[in-house]
């Protein structure tokens, strides 16, 4: 065999599609969970819908997606997680924010729940409009004080948008504390 030929090593590499976190769902009393894999998670909408039943008392949830794949979940999935976890204060979970249209008040569950979320890490989440995301989180996450992104210079189209979102919520937090 010629060593210069490319070798298909895909069978040796873990598939993000096959990482299953459901084994952790049996730990119902968790209040804090961080899950990191070398290449990150890539959860689906179905898995996102299972999280509230799995960890009803979670306060800090970090399901990090280290790579730059477009997340499989969108802002509706994210809001479902936020509204379904009454004590969730810190969330690290990438989501696709490109289809956010604004406040979208129809997504409020109407049961008087005010999400406790104060800090959100969106990882490498794609975003198309900072102003629409600000509207969305202002309505649905009124306690939010910080929005972090892992986007860098190579993600300039996202980095600037997430910086605007973060600056908005940090300034709201500063105003509230004075």
> What does the pLDDT profile of the chain (178 residues) look like in tens digits?
444 444 343 443 445 455 778 889 999 999 999 988 766 667 889 989 999 999 999 999 998 766 667 888 999 999 999 999 989 999 999 999 999 998 888 888 767 788 999 999 998 899 999 999 999 999 999 999 999 998 776 666 777 899 999 999 999 876 655 4
* Residue in the structure block whose two tokens are 């999400």: 115
Using the structure block, give the residue that is written with the tokens 């459901």. Answer: 22
Is residue 22 helix, strand or coil?
A: helix
Neighbours of 11 (CB within 10 A): 6
∠ Cα 157 158 163 (to 5°):
115
Rounded to whole angstroms, the Cα distance separating 114 from 110 reads 10
The pTM is what?
0.83
Domains of the chain: 31-177 (3.80.10)
């Amino acid at each position: 065999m010629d060593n210069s030929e490319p070798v298909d090593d895909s069978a040796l590499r873990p598939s993000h599609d096959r990482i299953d976190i459901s084994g952790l769902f049996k730990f119902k009393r968790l209040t804090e969970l961080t899950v990191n894999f070398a290449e990150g998670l890539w959860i689906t909408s179905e898995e996102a819908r299972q999280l509230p039943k799995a960890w009803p008392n979670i306060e800090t949830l970090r399901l990090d997606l280290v790579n730059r794949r477009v997340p499989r979940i969108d802002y509706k999935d994210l809001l479902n997680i936020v509204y379904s976890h009454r004590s969730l204060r810190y969330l690290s979970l990438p989501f696709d924010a490109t289809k956010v249209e604004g406040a979208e008040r129809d997504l409020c569950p109407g049961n008087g729940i005010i999400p406790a979320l104060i800090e959100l890490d969106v990882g490498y989440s794609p975003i198309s409009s900072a102003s629409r995301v600000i509207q969305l989180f202002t309505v649905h996450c009124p306690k939010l004080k910080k929005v972090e992104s892992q986007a860098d210079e190579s993600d300039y189209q996202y980095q600037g948008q997430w910086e605007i979102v973060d600056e908005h919520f940090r300034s709201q937090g500063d105003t509230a504390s004075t």
